[in-house]
Amino acid sequence: MTRPAVTRAAVADWRAVARTILPRFAWEYLEEGAEDGRTLRRNLDAFARIGFVPRTLVDVETIDTTTTLFGQSLALPAAVGPTGLNGLYRTRAEEQLAAAAGRAGLPFVLSTASTSHIEDVKAAACGPLWLQLYVQNDRTIAERWMAKARECGFSVLLLTVDTPVTGLRDHYLRNGFTLPLRWTPTLLLDILTHPRWCLSTGRHGMPQMVNLAECSGREPDITAQAATMAQQMNRSLTWSDLQWVRRHWEGPVLVKGIGCVEDAKLALQHGVDGIVLSNHGGRQLEDAPTAMELLPQVSEAVAGRMEVLVDGGIRRGSSIAKAVALGASAVLLGRAPLYGLAGGGAAGVDDVLAILRRELEVTLRLMGRPVLREARPGDVRAL
């Protein structure tokens, strides 16, 4: 007898599936934040503290969630954001994420710490491709990464600036997470008690940051790659270095990791095309502000003169509506697509993105706001 397909009602359902499939070390890498996790929780709470001001007797027969960003037409004001070491959750992870994003009419942002070759991601994609950039001390690594991305048709660059060092992630020490993995009895038991992960991912061995390895001229050795990421990040990067970025990237440039109004103004002064308000998913500086706390002030300060994106804590379609109402051009989706990836591969990502779109459409109808891009601060209220 064939079992009926299980309906996932919300992103939280895919999160629950992912948690059962992933070994503890992989689950905590995906899910945990810095220190005591306060910032991680506040990212979620920030959306819960925003309510709606619904209007009635409005024609909501047709709903329009589309937007245009950097000359690209998007089905939703969202992109599948950059996340690293996705090969911990599924093989060919970035290829599956990029393909699903394209099917949903969204861009996919490839991380410097990606585990699929950029050429393979390009071949799998059917939508816009953006690039996330970390800058190491040896800047030729970043220059090669940008050049390779241009050759593959990537159009938008996100320069991440909030990681001069890795945040204090206590769970790394508690569960012994290192690169490469240290094979202890506890780790072996953890892996062996998650057979679905072993069959789909673990049998392929530890994922490699293949693009970083190629651009740095290193052998595919995860230890060396991790050292390049963690120990050789360029800690002297300043606003003046945006000129160097511009020399190597002709398309739109966004600065990702803005955490105050003053830096948003500086970004505008330095001519960037957009910013991402972000605390790195609560994984870097504990007690940093959330994107939604900053968004109203930043939107007022930049007054539409550059694009403002947000990330962190987006688990519902209603959260996208709240962000747009408060001035966001779009949101970046981080953990939510990864829950689908870990739980169901490409089909899981498809379902997560479909859930978010369905929730967003229902929210707009109940708000009485049929055109999302017309949402305004008056459509929401503080709870």
- Tens-level pLDDT at each residue, the chain (383 residues): 344 456 789 999 999 999 999 999 899 999 999 999 999 999 999 999 999 999 999 999 999 999 999 999 999 999 999 999 999 999 999 999 999 999 999 999 999 999 999 999 999 999 999 999 999 999 999 999 999 999 999 999 999 999 998 888 888 887 777 766 777 888 788 888 888 888 877 677 778 889 988 998 876 666 666 666 665 788 999 999 999 999 999 999 999 999 999 999 999 999 999 999 999 999 999 999 999 999 999 999 999 999 999 999 999 999 999 999 999 999 999 999 999 999 999 999 999 999 999 999 999 999 999 999 999 999 999 99
Residue 358: predicted pLDDT:
98
**What pLDDT is attached to residue 180?**
66
If DSSP codes are grouped into helix, strand and coil, which group holds residue 227?
helix
All residues at 6 or more sequence positions from 238 whose CB lies less than 8 Å from its CB, including other chains: none
Q: What is the largest CA-CA distance in the chain?
A: 65
Which residues are catalytic, by number?
280
Amino acid in position 7: T
Amino acid at 297: Q
Place of tokens 């007898």: 1
- pLDDT confidence of residue 1: 37
Q: How many residues in the chain?
A: 383
How far are the Cα atoms of 109, 213, 245 from residue 249, in angstroms, in the given order? 16, 21, 6
- Judge whether 140 and 110 are in contact, CB under 8 Å: no
Strand partners, 256: 160, 276
Sign of torsion, CA 185 190 196 199? negative
Virtual CA dihedral for 291, 295, 298, 304, nearest 10 degrees? 120
Distance CA 287, CA 36 (A): 10
Can you tell me which residue has the tokens 């589309």? Answer: 66
Write down the pLDDT at residue 219: 67
Task: Walk me through the domains of the chain, giving residue ranges and CATH numbers.
Answer: 11-382 (3.20.20.70)
- pLDDT, residue 70, reads 97
What pairing do the DSSP bridges indicate for beta strands 307-311 and 274-277?
A: parallel
CA gap 280, 282 in Å, rounded: 5
User: What type of residue is 291?
Assistant: A
DSSP-H helix ranges across the chain: 11-21, 24-31, 38-48, 93-103, 118-124, 139-151, 170-175, 185-192, 195-200, 210-216, 222-231, 242-248, 261-269, 291-302, 317-325, 335-367
